[in-house]
Chains A and B, each alone.
Chain A
Amino acid sequence: MSSADEPDIKLELSRDAMRATLHIPAGASLALEGDALCIAVLHDRGVSLSASVEACISELVELHRKNPDEVHEMVVAEGREPIPGHPERLELSQLNDNDVQESDDGAVSYYECSALPTVAAGDELGKLIPATDGEDGVNVLGETIPARRGKSLGLHTDESIEIRPDGFIIARRPGILEHVGSTLRVTNTLTIATDIDFNTGNIRFDGDVTIHKVVKDCFIIEATGSIHVHGAVQAATIKAGVDANLEGGVAGRDKAVIEVGRDLCTRYIEKAQVTVARNLEVLHEIVCADILVQGKFIADRCSIVGANVHVCGRCQVDTIGGERASQTHVTVGRLKGVNELQATGADLLPKIIAKRQTFESEYSEMKESVNSLTPAQAERMTELEFTLATLDGLTSKIKNGLGQLTGLLDEFTEIDLTVQSMVHAGVFITIGPWDAHITMDMKGPLRFTVDETGAPIVIDLISETSTPLENFARIEQQGAALDSTANAAG
């Protein structure tokens, strides 16, 4: 554009083309069409023109006209910077406010102040805020400057998490919320590396629980899954829906309560109340504990001293009793409650049958003179008819029930106690329906069971000789009337 007879109007473009600055030198003689001249310069360099650009040029030219001896320059065009997009972000809700729970009288249980961020199925865990694209910019040449797009978090979730279209994050199952790196999930395994004490509070968890240290006095762990405690269990409560592995043993000080939905394995049990729905395994000893095992108790190296152990299935231990003067009672092959119910039924049946016979005689007498009955006798005969039918129904139900109880006992009990080393004098052993008070030390390996007649016997597992249990113990049959009454009942 510049030529010898035209003023040297200069246009300076910034390196990023975001700014165009127009220079009018001193003494430049602009013709009347000075605005047009400047516009032409901008046009030649490709600068986009707009009303605001033209207004700036007019202002600059006007300044020059007023004061032509000075250099004039002005930024006449500016680009628009791009606005970058926001990255995707995760806003997690505050979980578990650990509200202090007050009882009706205002007392606070600090045992219940759990510090665990547990969630329930359906809980809203937070929100995933989506990334934004931002806004593109433009330079003075009209070229688009693309905005930086917001990045995705690349969040990984599994089936435990639902991300709704509106971004809300919902727990699909109960458990612990785990957010590690870009992974978010609800896990049903709770691992606690510390003791269970006031720092953790009681643990109630829908899943499996692993405790790396000790469960302190008076604390409670309840899990619908399995519980694994590496340290000792003190006078605490453990309730496992499935299995429990109490590696450090149980030192219960007469206050520990252990309830296991399936199998329990532990090193030792001392002064605790234990209920195991299936099998029990104890590595060393049971001391002064009250134990009910619905399945088997197999522990070849375990000694039982001063405890009350009831095993429905087979039982295999090292030693029963000790030199200490503490009462030890081992029951094998009885189903708690069922044997008692069977005895009650068997006791009731002959009484009902005897009563029926009385009514039957009275009814038979009336039947012989049915055509000459007084109105009162006719009513009595109707009554007897119904009473006999009712008693027949009752007898049938009891017999059926007794059969089912026998089936239960056959299925869930096993009259089989094996002792590897020693049964000390003074211990009580209940083997099926037989109570035995052992009167002398008995050296193992021995097997306590019943013979084909149902009598209790002891088998020496080395010589394989069988001896009546009464040779070693004072024995007594529980529900001795059971067999005879059952026979009488037919």
Chain B
Amino acid sequence: MKIMLVDDSKTMRNIQKSVLTQLGHTELAEACDGQDALSKVAAFAPDLILLDWNMPNMDGLTFIKTFRQADKSTPVIMVTTESERARVVEAIKAGVNNYVVKPFTPDILSQRITETMDKAAA
């Protein structure tokens, strides 16, 4: 399964990579903001996107709105510090499939990925 990691923090991307590698996913691509992700997503054609909210150049919410105009099916998990209910609802309305609030543990991240992929496959 191909997974794209979109986060401006390299440390956070490394953490996500570590969890995904342990889960057996090795086809990974990285983007440092929404704009970078949009430029790479067509070529990489991910099966799942892990998306941060607050990023320079283009934030996660703008990315998902733009991305969903062309792709309605690829699952996207928002991984963010934005934990207010209204923000979560806003993201889900924009097209996010699942939500992980920082701080999170490796177990929570892997659980959300499994849930999301199971739902997408159903």
Which A residues fall within an 8 A CB radius of B? 366, 370, 373, 375, 378-379, 381-386, 389-390
Q: Which residues of B contact A366 (CB under 8 A)?
A: 103
The answer to whether A370 and B106 touch across the interface, beta carbons within 8 angstroms, is no
Q: Which residue of A lies closest to B19 (CB)?
A: A386
Cα(A389)–Cα(B104), bound, Å = 12
Complex interface: chain A residues within 8 A of B15 (CB): 382-383, 386
Size of the chain B interface, CB-CB below 8 angstroms: 14
Give the distance to chain B from A385, nearest Cβ to Cβ, in Å.
Answer: 5
- Contact partners of B82 in chain A: CB under 8 A: 375
| B45 CB-CB contact with A under 8 Å | no
Which residues of chain A have C-beta atoms less than 8 A from B9's C-beta?
Answer: 379
Q: Given known contacts A375-B102, A379-B81, what 13 new A-B pairs fall within 8 Å (CB)? A: A370-B103, A375-B54, A378-B101, A378-B103, A379-B9, A379-B103, A382-B12, A382-B15, A382-B104, A383-B15, A385-B105, A386-B18, A390-B18
Do residues B54 and A382 form an inter-chain contact, with CB atoms below 8 A?
Answer: no
Q: Does B81 lie within 8 Å of A375, measured CB to CB?
A: yes
Cα-based distance from A382 to B101 in the complex (angstroms) = 10
Please name the residue on chain A nearest to B100 by beta carbon: A382
Residues of B within 8 A of A378 (CB): 81, 101-103
Q: Which B positions have Cβ atoms within 8 angstroms of A?
A: 9, 11-12, 15, 18, 54, 81-82, 101-106
Query: Min CB distance, A363 to chain B, in Å?
Result: 9
**Sample of 21 A–B contacts (CB below 8 Å):** A366-B103, A370-B103, A373-B81, A373-B103, A375-B54, A375-B81, A378-B101, A378-B102, A378-B103, A379-B9, A379-B12, A379-B81, A382-B12, A382-B15, A383-B11, A384-B103, A385-B104, A385-B105, A385-B106, A386-B15, A390-B18
Q: Is the CB of A383 within 8 A of B104?
A: no
Interface of B is mostly: loop
Tell whether, in the assembled complex, residue A379 and residue B18 are in contact, meaning their CB atoms are under 8 Å apart. no
**What are the nearest 9 A-B pairs in CB distance?**
A381-B103, A375-B81, A378-B81, A378-B102, A382-B103, A386-B15, A382-B102, A378-B103, A385-B105
Tell me, in angstroms, the Cα distance from A125 to B104 when the chains sit together: 72
Bound Cα distance from A382 to B54, whole angstroms: 16
Least Cβ–Cβ distance between B13 and chain A, in angstroms: 11
**Interface pair B54/A386, CB less than 8 Å apart:** no
- Of B11, B18, B54, B81, most A-chain CB atoms within 10 Å: B81
Complex: how many Å from CA A373 to CA B102?
10
| A375 CA / B101 CA spacing, docked (Å) | 10
Q: Roughly how many angstroms separate A381 CA and B101 CA in the complex, as a whole number? A: 12
Q: How far, in whole Å, are A390 and B103 apart by their CA atoms in the complex? A: 16
Contact check, A385 vs B54: say whether CB atoms are below 8 A apart: no
User: Which of A381, A384, A385, A386 is packed against the most chain B CB atoms within 10 Å?
Assistant: A386
